[in-house]
Amino acid sequence: MRVLIAEDERMLADSIAEGLRAEALAVDVVYDGDAALERLGVNDYDVLVLDRDLPVVHGDDVCRAVVESGALVRVLMLTAAVTVPARVDGLRLGADDYLTKPFAFEELVARIQALGRRSRPAAPPRLERAGIRLDPSRQEVVRDGRYVQLARKEFGLLAELMRADGTIVSAERLLEKVWDEHTDPFTNTVRVTLMKLRRKLGDPPVIETVPGVGYRIP
């Protein structure tokens, strides 16, 4: 899952990003509404965590632009306002969910994960293919009854391949969904991570390379 955080309180934004990355999410951060619109126009996000009182372009205007564009990104609006009318106004703008500050980080993660599930086609709680069972909620992978311990990026990469249900996933798509914008698009990080993942999954190999196209789990 890829998340964009638009929050002008830099310490809060960076803290949220660090916590979400620990949850195996790919996270980008901006500090004003204009930068948020720029990122949304370039990248495919699952969830936008949007501070309502952004500078340059107000959060309300960012939310309106997202709705008018027809983008599939889900919007979680953050605000210090606690009144019911304020929350209702935010939802009427097109936000999918609303969270008041201060908030518990665990609740923020749960809401982002719930919105992320809604931003893509429904998937079973557990993904199973080629003898592999992947449980996103527990961050667990089992192959043929053997527990496989994976690093966060290895887990995210495997999850994207399994969600593809046998179709080919390009290296560019994997880079977009599992890593954040600071990753060099010309890096070999996908190939290196795949090599480590294949080694941990063991034999027989299950991840197939389609030369010049991408990867799949047939």
How do 146-148 and 140-143 pair as beta strands? antiparallel
Pairing of strands 132-135, 127-129: antiparallel
The structure tokens 């990104």 sit at 73
- Count CB atoms within 10 A of the CB of residue 104: 9
Give the Cβ contact number of residue 69 at 10 Å. 12
pTM higher than 0.85 for the full model? no
Q: What is the pLDDT along the chain (218 residues), one digit of tens a residue?
A: 889 999 999 999 999 999 998 887 889 999 999 999 999 988 889 999 999 999 999 999 999 999 888 888 999 998 876 666 766 776 778 889 988 888 899 999 999 988 987 765 545 568 899 899 998 877 889 998 899 999 888 998 999 999 888 999 998 888 888 877 666 666 788 889 999 999 999 999 999 999 989 999 98
Instruction: Let me know: does 75 contact 95? Beta carbons within 8 Å.
Output: yes
From 35, 41, 38, select the one nearest 10 (Cα to Cα): 35
